[in-house]
Structure 1
Amino acid sequence: MNILVPIDDSDPARAAIEHAATTSPDATITALHVLDPTMAMYRGDRSYNYERAMQLEEERSETLFETAREICDEHGVSLETETVVGRPADRIVEFAAGNDVDRIVLGSHGRSGVSRILLGSVAERVVRRASVPVTVVR
């Protein structure tokens, strides 16, 4: 079984890796980090230099992957890592469709009401659009 786990630097993302590793110990987990160019532009004083901002985001993804490796190693689960660029929900769904993914496990911040409407929900968009089962972990 191949499980896709989109990750960022949030507690729900770490919970998603942990959930996938503990509930599917025989699976191969692919940790996917989506570099969102629109968000990279707004991190601190890096906004004036797009290329440098994206380079820093790529370096940051390695730290995220190290955390995912530690969790998977602890549970004896195989881990692969991938980084893509684009809008997170779109790229997650595209990656799942274009690769041999059996299930997506992703974290959710659990926003509701106005907060969800204003900020959008990657998890909600993935659930609506994915062609494979999706587990949302909070």
Structure 2
Amino acid sequence: MNLLVPIDDSDPARAAIEHAVTTFPDADITVLHVVDPETAMYRTDAPFNFERLLDIEEEKAETLVESAREIAEERGHDGSLTTEIVIGDPVRTIVSFAEDHGIDQIVVGSHGRSGVSRMLLGSVAEQVVRRASMPVTVAR
């Protein structure tokens, strides 16, 4: 089985990794971090230097994927674990990556927002569930 686990720097993303490695101990897992340039420029002091912005985000992403590897190792995951860092719109990138790479299932974390906060902020997990052609498990 091929799983895709999109991650960011959040507790729900860590929960998704833990769920994936414990529920599917023999699966081949791809951990995907999507750098969204539109939101990244608001989280750094280098919004006008796009190359520097991407460097900063990729450095952060390396830390995230290393953390994912550690979680898998701690939980005794026996399958392969690969990591990918890509630039783009998170929802579109996650769904197209899954379709292009023969992913059988996506395991994504969710903050569990509801009501007005979900309407205003949107939910990557919810949009992935709606758009993906394969099963999606939402972990909290």
TM above 0.5, yes or no, is yes
Distance 1:102 1:95 in 2: 12
Q: Does 1:14 align with 2:14?
A: yes
Contact 2:22 2:77 in 1 (8 A): no
**Percent of aligned positions with the same letter in both sequences?**
67
CA contact (8 A) 2:5 2:30 kept: yes
**1:76 offset after TM fit, Å?**
2.6
- What is residue 84 of structure 2 aligned with on the other side? 82
Instruction: For structure 2, list consecutive stretches of 5 or more residues without a partner in the other structure.
Output: none
Please report how far the alpha carbon of residue 117 of structure 1 lies from its aligned counterpart in structure 2 after TM superposition. 0.6
Distance in 2, matches of 1:115 and 1:44, equals 24
Alignment of 1:35-74 (within 5 A): 35-74=35-74
Q: Report the TM-score when normalising by structure 1.
A: 0.97
TM-score of the aligned structures, taking structure 2 as reference length: 0.95
* 1:34 is aligned to 2:34: yes
Q: How big is each residue's C-alpha offset from its partner over 1:99-133, in whole Å with a ceiling of 9 and x where there is no partner?
A: 11000000001111110011111001100000100
SS in 2 for 1:81: strand
Gap runs ≥5 in structure 1:
none
Partner secondary structure for residue 45 of structure 2: helix
Instruction: Tell me, yes or no, if the aligned pair for 2:44 and 2:53 is still in contact at 8 Å.
Output: no
State the alpha-carbon separation in 2 of the partners of residues 91 and 27 from structure 1: 22
Larger proportion of helix: 1
**Which SS does the other structure have where 1:46 is aligned?**
coil
Query: How far is 1:84 from its partner?
Result: 1.1
Question: Paired residue for 1:125, among 119, 124, 127?
Answer: 127
Check whether the contact 1:31–1:80 (CA below 8 A) recurs between aligned residues.
yes
In structure 1, distance between residues paired with 2:44 and 2:131: 32
RMSD: 0.9
